[in-house]
Chain A
Amino acid sequence: MPDRGNRSPRGSRLSVSDTLPILLIEDNPMDVDLTQRAFIRHKLANPLRVARDGQEALDLIEAWQAGDIIPSVILLDLKLPKISGLEVLRVIRAHPIFGTVPVVVLTSSAEDGDINEAYSLGANSYIVKPVDFDKFIEVARQIELYWTVLNMHSFPKRA
């Protein structure tokens, strides 16, 4: 959807964010499905895009470069095949243009080491995925509300 990325950044902020996609970087298909269902349950306006591993996520950056639409928030799992979530975070934050895209770590790990490293690499938030589905739905709701509605994001300029 290359056109959507060409919208004027000066438009209504609320209307801008709630149509931008949310990028979920997650390898577990069940988690992907449950996350999608959780968002659907809240009749999420923002489309959910999915990268299934670290490499796919990095490939997307190339697509952004080429004019693909930039997500309003990235939900990043840490334990990914090929390239780990933390590595993906490092690359994003090091990127000259897309380094400011909000990244919310959404993972099963509550390890201090992971939390600290994620923040030091520039994560905007760190959320542990609850096992209880009801709670998970609630988390999804709050993420959407906060990151796509309440939060003001930056406007990266492509070269």
Chain B
Amino acid sequence: MNYPVENHTRGAADSSKVTHERQLLQSGNTHGTTHDTLEHSLNEIYLFDTQTLRFEYVNPVAQRNLGYHMAALRLMTPLDLEPAYNEKSFRGMLKPLLCGEKDVVIFEASLSREDGTRYPVEFHLQLFTQQGGHAAFLAIGRDITTRQRAEIALREREEWFHTMVNTIPQLAWIANPDGSRTWYNQRWYDYSGATREEMEGWGWQKLHDPVLLPQVMKSWNNAIAAEQVFDMEFPLRGADGQFRIFLTRAEPLRNSEGHIVKWLGTNTDVHDQRLAEQARRETENQLQVVMENMTEGLVVSDFSRKLLHWNRAALKMHDVTSADEALRDLDSFASMYELSTLDGAVLPAKLWPLIRVLQGEQLQDLELRLRRLDRDWVRVLSYSGAISHYGDGKGLAFLTIKDITERKQAEEALRDAKINLEYKVNERTAQLVAKSKELENFCYSVSHDLRAPLRGIDGYSRLLLESYHERLDEEGRTFLKNVRAATKHMTDLIEDLLAYSKLERRTPSSTSVRLSTFISNLLGQFQDLVGNVVLIVKVDDFHVNADPDALAIALRNLIDNALKFSRHASQPAIEISAQAGDGNCIISVRDNGIGFDMRFYDKIFEIFQRLHRIEEYPGTGIGLAMVHKAMERMGGRVWAESQLGNGAVFFLQLPLSCRTGETVPHADPGLV
């Protein structure tokens, strides 16, 4: 029983033949045809006594095989033919048959021939009752030399396989016909880190992902049932607990009769390969997604002008839903579309963007108008493109397309709007010029025509006072004086208004003004008015950029105001100072008069705004508006700080003249 596994799979035909002969003997017919059958059987047939163990009958095949004649054999027992058996062990083997515990005992023996050589025989041994009630043991034997040789060859082949598969980089194994494994190569154990015990039989399943195992088993069982080569890829867990993907292939190994006796399997590690493939696939997928979803159109062509790919955006720009036949090559494309420059000149096909790219040109934002010939479809597209060579005179041309129709329309609309705007601006300007002219005429009229009647009123009230002085009583004279005062105020208003409007209308000049000289000249005009006022002037020596007339108006009005509003102070004081700063100078006019409430700050520079009753502080309400206007016209500004009852200070800011550098600033305090 060296190869119990093999015995399981021994050919069914052999067993049935032995059984047949046994049945013939069992039927008790050892004579006639039965006897002939035994005599001519190819199997060895022995009958030996249950007590003495001596052979009673040995058929001719057995006699021939052994090289003994029957006469000699009658004196011999099975123990003489198989030296490995002693009587005790042999009888022990026979005992279950005698006791009726077993019907048949099967065993193999190596029989000694007469010439001393040996040969293997498989025996089916049973108790046999002959006619007449005499019981003997019937042994039917079969020469198994051939079979044993095959088994050895198979074993050798297997060993060779083992040796071979231990040298290959794959994992390898041998499985029984039912799929249970009997052997693994060293690499299997190295990879899995498992022991032989763990892997025995169905232990290999432990290396599988439990989720995938049912699928593997299904395929494996299918292969077994179909007796077909098994081919499958699945992950196997390594000693480190990580799965790697293996390509598994198992081939059936058949015996001489064509029955599958083994499966020889290998597992090839394809993990890195598959990962690389997967990575490449993923990259490709990502590129595909990007390509399909980008808002720019993309058309790919090979060097034979075949259009290989259109992305979704490109299709949309051409008003097609799929890249059908018409979009497969340039010629059919040319029959469907027309390209022209933005000026409307139709492009011949040789100047089409893709052709230019294919000719090696690198295109950047070429703007063209595309028209579909069979329907109303016009877009303005911007083409860019380049070639990508991959050697061997092959390569691809990539054309990216932007749909700039809306942008162009917007630009056009903007251009129209601009032209329209320019027209409107011109129109408005003309209207403004007309208005300005009208205003000038108006001012002229005011200046001329309002003054003439005033002169009449003043002149005649004066004449009345003079010539009719005696005839008027005191009240009458007061009335006339009031008429003249009102006329005076009206005259002042007109003068100021005219001055204000003149500031507005004249183009301010810009000259370099030496401020210290300018201010002392200006103060000269006030000398009569100053009276008991303390006047302090601190003006550094520098030049400002100003319109002298406008600056004079601004300063004169501020000084007028300072004098007017400090009139009731116990000791009126006015301080005028000017300092050059960073690119600008600041002139301040400070008084110790009644000041104003900063709540009304917003109002003070507005025309006709007054904070005091006219009989307290006479004025037209135009002075500060004029200061504001003058500063505005010179690119300067004016602001003020005050506290009711605590005087006020007004500031003027003006740009310094570039001549400032040549003068040395110094304080110049003094009384004028």
Contact = CB atoms under 8 A, between A and B. Distances in A.
Contacts of A107: 448
B506 to A, nearest CB: 7
B455 A110 contact: no
Interface string B452-469: 111110111011000000
Contact of A30 (B449, B459, B488): B459
A14 B451 CA distance: 35
Contact of B448 (A108, A112, A132, A136): A108
B579 interface: no
B447 A129 contact: no
A133 interface: yes
B463 A129 contact: no
A78 B452 CA distance: 12
B491 A132 contact: yes
B452 A136 contact: no
Interface of A: 28, 30-31, 34, 37, 78-79, 107-112, 114, 129-134, 136
Contacts of B451: 108, 129, 131
B444 interface: yes
B498 interface: yes
Contact of B456 (A31, A78, A111, A134): A31
Contacts, number: 58
A30 B462 CA distance: 14
Contacts of A132: 458, 488, 491
Given A30-B452, A31-B455, A110-B447, 15 more contacts: A28-B456, A30-B453, A34-B460, A78-B448, A107-B448, A108-B452, A108-B455, A109-B444, A114-B444, A129-B451, A131-B454, A132-B488, A132-B491, A133-B458, A133-B462
A133 B448 contact: no
Contacts of B660: none
B456 A34 contact: yes
B463 A133 contact: yes
B463 A131 contact: no
B384 to A, nearest CB: 63
A111 B462 contact: no
Q: How extensive is the interface on chain B, given as a class?
A: 20 to 34
Which of A30, A31, A133 has the most chain B CB atoms inside 10 A of its CB? A133
Interface of B: 443-444, 447-449, 451-456, 458-460, 462-463, 487-488, 491, 498, 502, 506
A133 B455 CA distance: 7
Contact of B447 (A28, A108, A130, A136): A108
A111 B463 CA distance: 29
A78 B445 CA distance: 12
Given A30-B452, A79-B449, A111 B458 contact: no
Given A110-B498, A111-B447, A134 B455 contact: no
B484 to A, nearest CB: 8
Contacts of B453: 30
A34 B444 contact: no
6 closest A-B pairs by CB = A133-B459, A30-B456, A133-B462, A108-B451, A108-B448, A34-B459
B215 to A, nearest CB: 106
Given A109-B447, A111-B447, A136 B455 contact: yes
Which of B456, B460, B487, B488 has the most chain A CB atoms inside 10 A of its CB? B456
A78 B451 CA distance: 14
A20 B447 CA distance: 32
Contacts of A110: 447, 498
A136 B487 CA distance: 14
A31 B457 CA distance: 11
